[in-house]
Structure 1
């Protein structure tokens, strides 16, 4: 007669018992990924349903709230050649986006490099921080449009004012985050490194920088976000080709579907870049969250 403990074993699937452990782990990971994707996909479908309902209700005209199908048609139009017209204003959507990403890479990249270097100096030299931090805070609070016109007067209407605007927008978040992280580096570890004969450069390289890297990466992500939010402002003047220029030009003609396509392209590319930065952070700073 079977015992009570043997009954559950008899109910187990023999296929599960025979399944190799790596395959079970892979199946478990796949189930976890599916669960993580279910909520975002569900929220997207709900958003599209609400959007379609609002557009179909007719409360607002299609100029203000175009239906999703019309926006999809605009996406196809700006991504292909139709009726002899190549994309939008002779440039495909992916080309507009690529030109804007290149501007962000140059502008935000320059601002990030300068911001990290300046933040290191501010965090290690007290009088430099006291002297420059109010100016950086002042710059950080300025909206890009406040000084873009001045950049145009100084640098013209070509690429220079756009790159400079993105660099100036990206600089303060990185500089402030780096300075704060460097100043908060553990004092006892710095003193231990000096006691072991480390020079000032050694202490900064081997103790301060590793301690500050997580916050520096946070500042970099913030800087890229600020640069993206400044993109349309940077391309207000002579921005075509460029995704921000496309949005501005379409808005001038009340072409709301193209405006929405451009906004979606900026947002999705921003999400992808932020995801890449997160992966880079996990690779460079694997100890974040574990110490």
Structure 2
């Protein structure tokens, strides 16, 4: 055998081949089944079960009166009663559905609609005003004290004034939720725009980009992570304000139902409403985080 033949046979052709065992593993194909994620879910489930067990034990031993802390079963029954139709009394032919004439999901939907309109208005006005304050120094310097003044006011401080201006209907409620959501969005937009490095703007201008192109392709993408963070914070503020917004004529509304059931000493229903508010807020927060990851996938990456 010649040297040439030996050299040819010792160099295999690996074009288009893949070594054994280098394909995608099942764990990589399904990231939801990774051991770390399963362990995280297991810990959360164990903590939740522990909280329920402690809650049940306290109510079962009678350490706290049911008026102050009802049992988990009473709260579950309140969920069921508020979500179904039932006789008004045992043996009565008269039927009552839900609570205060509405099912629980209708109360939640009414509050979500009010929050949606308030936050949407906060996004529209807050982003526009934030850009104007950040890009026009004189305007920003004159307007920022008033924005900080509005941001520091608690919602209950002007709910009475809004009722005088707009009545006890949905208009005053939406305005209150707008005023709760607007300041954090405007502040986040200002911080996002002012935090853009000057060399990025100068590089785009040196390449011949117009002012509109700089705004669209540089300023907006660079400030978008901060704006989305402000929207997330504003949505949380709106949820903390929904009970105050629905104190007067708040039915249907999950906040109004929580307040009214509390005044009527229906503690299981009050706790049920609180749980609904918390779960809805967590779900919205998760949705905003998911949308943020889609819109700004580069955020947090080197």
| TM-score, normalised relative to structure 1 | 0.90
How far residue 27 of structure 1 moved from its aligned partner, in angstroms, is 6.0
The partner residue of 1:244 within 255, 268, 276 is 255
User: Which region of structure 1 is more displaced relative to structure 2, 80-89 or 147-156?
Assistant: 80-89
Residue in 1 that maps onto 2:241: 230
RMSD: 1.7
Measured against aligned partners, the alpha-carbon deviations of 1:139-198 in whole angstroms (never above 9, x if no partner) come to 111110100100000001111100100011100000001001101101101011111222
Alignment of 1:52-67 (within 5 A): 52-67=56-71
Residue in 2 that maps onto 1:13: none
Residue in 2 that maps onto 1:49: 53
- Provide the rounded CA distance (Å) in 2 between the counterparts of 1:152 and 1:27: 52
Residue in 1 that maps onto 2:120: 109
How far residue 23 of structure 1 moved from its aligned partner, in angstroms, is 3.5
Alignment of 1:186-265 (within 5 A): 186-265=197-276
Conservation of the 8 A alpha-carbon contact between 2:27 and 2:33 = no
Using a 3 Å threshold, how does the CA distance of structure 1 residues 24 and 192 change in structure 2: closer, same or farther?
closer
Runs of 4+ that moved beyond 3 A: 17-29
Using a 3 Å threshold, how does the CA distance of structure 1 residues 20 and 242 change in structure 2: closer, same or farther?
same
The partner residue of 2:110 within 96, 99, 104 is 99
SS in 2 for 1:85: strand
| TM-score, normalised relative to structure 2 | 0.87
Alignment of 1:1-291 (within 5 A): 21=24, 23-26=26-29, 29-32=32-35, 33-83=37-87, 84-291=95-302
Count of residues in correspondence between the two structures: 275
Using a 3 Å threshold, how does the CA distance of structure 1 residues 192 and 149 change in structure 2: closer, same or farther?
same
The higher radius of gyration belongs to 2
Unaligned runs of 5+ in 2: 1-19, 88-94
Conservation of the 8 A alpha-carbon contact between 1:214 and 1:288 = yes
